[in-house]
Amino acid sequence: MKIATAAYPMDFLPDWQAYEDKITKWVSEAAVHGAELMVFPEYGAMELATLAGRETALDLQASLRAVSDLMPRADALHTALARQYGAHILAASAPVYDRALGDLPVNRARLFAPSGDMVVQDKQIMTRFEREDWGIAAGGALTVFDTVLGKIGVLICYDSEFPLLGRALSDADILLMPSCTEALSGYWRVRIGTMARALENQCIAVMASTVGSCDWSEAVDENTGAGGVFGPPDKGFPDTGVIALGALNAPGWTYADVDLGAVRTARTDGTQFNRRHWSDQTGRDQTAPIRVLT
């Protein structure tokens, strides 16, 4: 299959039609290139706060509510585009107030299928900014989604840096890592995490990023990143593990042709068996004693 992963710039939108035109253009462009799976980044939906005006977009708490209120409309748009273009689309994640979780905002990604079906995946572990400034809560549990493209899991940005979360999704053939990072160091933290999860799970891992400046937001004011698709450095994959990599901070899609047969080969006849040998750590993963060397 062909995967398209985004380096996505957020805009100050004059009206809803501008947002609809923008997302439609992105999806149609990826479809022209044959993409069956399209991945947008974390918090790319924050541009929707601008529809409520600059003052609201600049207010952290008000911007969360403004974006959350527009999610049903955004979901309807992505549902229609997934149907129209026959593609699976991981929409840009958004703050969503979930009454089932005490009406706290969660960071939620939504995966749309050509059938019209939609599933959601919430972020598990919050960054300092999300905890200390936004008050974003951890959402619903991790899930592996069994699709016609293969089994897909989602680890949103910071979640990609935690190996036990990746292990919880070890049945997935493809892991999607939508990210939103301010600095180059943040981009590299997520990229290293993404590549490490591909190594451990012997799977394909896809990173999407926000890019560019947004002077209308305190939350997503500066963004550094690139799209990337990675695999284990093993049979059927590049020796570097890098299947495709976009230029840093260059808006647009990065495309990769991937074969899930390579995932199966790596897991059954690979040079190493990281995924299979995970349990060999049990009993050896206790906190090591400190021994003073004189």
- Helices (H), ranges, the chain: 16-32, 54-58, 60-69, 71-85, 128-129, 163-168, 184-201, 260-269
Q: What are phi and psi of 242, to 5 degrees?
A: -95, 110
User: Among 7-21, 43-57, 69-83, 271-285, which is the least confidently predicted range?
Assistant: 271-285
The pLDDT tens digits of the residues spanning 123-161 come to 999 999 999 989 899 989 999 999 999 999 999 999 999
Instruction: Quote the mean pLDDT of the chain.
Output: 96
Residue 175's beta-bridge partner residues?
153, 205
pLDDT at 98 over 90: no
Amino acid 69: pLDDT: 96
* pLDDT at 102 exceeding the cut of 80: no
pTM for the structure as a whole: 0.96
User: Taking 90 as the threshold, does the pLDDT of residue 10 lie above it?
Assistant: yes
| Domain 2-268 = CATH 3.40.50.720 | no
Quick one: pLDDT at residue 70?
Answer: 98
CB under 8 A, 24+ apart: contacts of 217-221: 217/10, 217/46, 217/49, 217/57, 217/58, 217/63, 218/58, 218/60, 219/43, 219/46, 219/60, 219/63, 219/129, 219/133, 219/134, 220/10, 220/43, 220/46, 220/180, 221/182
DSSP assignment, residue 134? I
Q: What are phi and psi of 134, to 5 degrees?
A: -90, -30
What is the DSSP pairing of strand 2-9 with strand 118-122? unpaired
**What pLDDT, on the 0 to 100 scale, is given for residue 217?**
96
Q: What is the pLDDT of residues 261-283, one digit of tens each?
A: 999 999 999 999 999 999 999 99
pLDDT value at position 99? 79
224 vs 98 pLDDT, higher one: 224
What's the rounded Cα separation, in Å, for the pair 19 and 75? 13
As a whole number, mean pLDDT of residues 23-52 equals: 98
The domain limits of the chain are 2-268
